[in-house]
Amino acid sequence: MDVFKNLIRWYHKNKRDLPWRRTSDPYKIWVSEIILQQTRVDQGMEYYIRIINRYPDVNALANAAEDEVLKTWQGLGYYSRARNMLLSAREIENKHSGHFPENYCDIRNLKGIGDYTAAAIASIAFNLPYPVVDGNVLRVISRLEGITDPIDSASTKKYILNLLEEKIDKKLPGDFNQALMELGALICTPSNPRCIICPLNVHCNAYHTGRIKQIPVKTKKQAKKIRYFEYFIILVREDNKWFTFLEKRSGEDIWKGLYQFPLIETKSLLQNPIEEFFSRNKGFIRPDDILEQYTSKMISHILTHRIIKARFQMLLLESADEEFYEGFKVDYKKLFSYPFPRLTDRYLKVFVEKFEKKFV
Ligand code: SF4
């Protein structure tokens, strides 16, 4: 009895018309899969179009500067995806003569590609029988099979992967994988799945045993850590131009490679951030030079494992001595050419509306 007999037929009839489904170009499929790793389809679509228009092939991407790629990616989050994509494009240029690798191992060896993405590209672009196991697939299969072990455990994932290796349609592996993911996105949704019209309902264990709400089982999540970010937008006027100060984030932390205003990070809320900034940046700016200051509201920015609580302190100053600052000075008018985290980018729009007339 083939449980998945109706699945591909259902997919062909009901799949969403998405731009990356209209191509067999592995480069474009790769770009879409990287975007969709941590982004919803509706949000990712705009970025897919933007990236493909700007970098229509591996060669165009490989020759781009990192800042430019990060700027194109700005707002999508998880910026390591963009950095890894650029490194992989350069590797494809150098190691594979510009041709996207056509076997699973070579695809899997590219930076930023894990088991899931390698299987997706191999099956969709090259028709190779590698099953994908993402959150949608885990939910569908755990309900279908009545699996009550946590789906986020390595052993359950392995069990489901082995099962799909056996069941995957060997003639249409790409469609089989996409059909399962699409079913999870459209029909077998986390709450209120539409079992009545599901092509798998005849065989579904959770449906027939009334356990749809109990399956899938997940291990309890740990509470998210809170990090407090105080940013300092320092503005000084020199030769009829306004300048501000930036630094590039480095180290193995969020937003690596993006730019930021001078920052103080703490584990709890600072009572007097401006005083703290002066004491940490002696020589750079002086309290006597403040012409105007403003503190933004606290902004909460939620990431997968942590919450960032951020404030922006705007300081309009008579002068600043950049020799005492580790970052660099930027012409205010060029500020928006730098890639920023979404949190900063959003605040800058408010900032421009509120203050720009005052000093530009
Ligand atoms: S019958 Fe319902 S629970 Fe089972 S796979 Fe279909 S949508 Fe999911």
CATH of residue 199's domain is: 1.10.340.30
281-296 average pLDDT score: 90
pLDDT of residue 252: 86
- Say whether pLDDT at 1 is over 60: no
On whether both 244 and 154 belong to a single domain, the answer is no
What digits encode the pLDDT tens for the residues 218-260?
988 888 899 999 999 999 999 889 999 999 999 889 999 999 9
**Atom of ligand 1 at shortest range from CA of 183:** 7
Q: Does residue 297 belong to any structural domain of this protein? A: yes
Distance from residue 207's CA to the centre of ligand 1 (Å): 6
Distance from residue 15's CA to the centre of ligand 1 (Å): 17
On whether both 183 and 81 belong to a single domain, the answer is yes
pLDDT of residue 240: 87
**What does DSSP assign to residue 74?**
T
15-23 average pLDDT score: 96
**Atom of ligand 1 at shortest range from CA of 198:** 6
Tell me the whole-structure pTM to 2 decimals: 0.81
Q: Does residue 152 belong to any structural domain of this protein? A: yes
On whether both 232 and 131 belong to a single domain, the answer is no
On whether both 299 and 181 belong to a single domain, the answer is no
Confidence of residue 121 (pLDDT cuts 50, 70, 90): very high
Distance from residue 192's CA to the centre of ligand 1 (Å): 10
Q: Is 195 in the pocket of ligand 1 (CB under 6 A)?
A: yes
On whether both 199 and 284 belong to a single domain, the answer is no
Q: Does residue 216 belong to any structural domain of this protein? A: no
On whether both 172 and 314 belong to a single domain, the answer is no
Q: Does residue 266 belong to any structural domain of this protein? A: yes
Q: Whose CA is nearest to atom 4 of ligand 1?
A: 204
pLDDT of residue 226: 95
Is the sign of the CA dihedral 48, 51, 52, 57 positive or negative?
Answer: negative
Separation of alpha carbons 49 and 33, rounded Å: 13
On whether both 86 and 27 belong to a single domain, the answer is yes
Round the average pLDDT of the chain to a whole number and report it: 94
On whether both 178 and 290 belong to a single domain, the answer is no
Question: Is 300 in a helix, a strand, or coil?
Answer: strand
Distance from residue 117's CA to the centre of ligand 1 (Å): 25
| Residue 268 amino acid letter | S
Separation of alpha carbons 284 and 323, rounded Å: 7
Q: Is 187 in the pocket of ligand 1 (CB under 6 A)?
A: yes
- Say whether pLDDT at 291 is over 70: yes
Residue 305, domain extent? 225-359
Distance from residue 69's CA to the centre of ligand 1 (Å): 40
Q: Is 7 in the pocket of ligand 1 (CB under 6 A)?
A: no
35-60 average pLDDT score: 95
Q: Is 205 in the pocket of ligand 1 (CB under 6 A)?
A: no
Separation of alpha carbons 148 and 151, rounded Å: 8
- Dihedrals phi, psi of 186, to nearest 5 degrees: -105, -35
Last residue of a domain, one of 173, 208, 243: 208
Last residue of a domain, one of 178, 208, 238: 208
Domain of 265: which CATH number? 3.90.79.10
Last residue of a domain, one of 208, 243, 266: 208
H or E segment to which residue 185 belongs: helix 173-186
**Atom of ligand 1 at shortest range from CA of 215:** 3
What is the greatest pairwise CA distance in the chain?
A: 81
pLDDT of residue 45: 96
pLDDT of residue 352: 86
- Say whether pLDDT at 122 is over 60: yes
On whether both 195 and 245 belong to a single domain, the answer is no
On whether both 71 and 191 belong to a single domain, the answer is yes
On whether both 254 and 201 belong to a single domain, the answer is no
pLDDT of residue 315: 94
Q: Whose CA is nearest to atom 2 of ligand 1?
A: 195
Q: Is 207 in the pocket of ligand 1 (CB under 6 A)?
A: yes
Q: Whose CA is nearest to atom 8 of ligand 1?
A: 188
pLDDT of residue 199: 96
Pocket-testing residue among 3, 4, 137, 143, ligand 1, by greatest number of atoms within 8 A of Cβ? 143
The residue among 251 and 212 whose pLDDT is bigger is: 212
Active site residues: 33
Q: Does residue 71 belong to any structural domain of this protein? A: yes
Q: Is 204 in the pocket of ligand 1 (CB under 6 A)?
A: yes
Q: Does residue 136 belong to any structural domain of this protein? A: yes
Write the secondary structure of 23-48 as one string of H (helix), E (strand) and C (coil): CCCHHHHHHHHHHHCCCCHHHHHHHH
The share of the chain scoring above pLDDT 90, in percent, equals: 84
Q: Is 198 in the pocket of ligand 1 (CB under 6 A)?
A: yes
Distances (CA, A) of 65 to 3, 60, 86: 48, 10, 9
Number of domains in the chain: 2
**Atom of ligand 1 at shortest range from CA of 187:** 7
Pocket-testing residue among 5, 142, 207, ligand 1, by greatest number of atoms within 8 A of Cβ? 207
Q: Are 112 and 81 in contact (CB under 8 A)?
A: yes
Q: Is 144 in the pocket of ligand 1 (CB under 6 A)?
A: yes
Identify the bridge partners of residue 312 per DSSP, sorted by sequence position. 231
On whether both 133 and 15 belong to a single domain, the answer is yes
Q: Does residue 183 belong to any structural domain of this protein? A: yes
Q: Does residue 217 belong to any structural domain of this protein? A: no
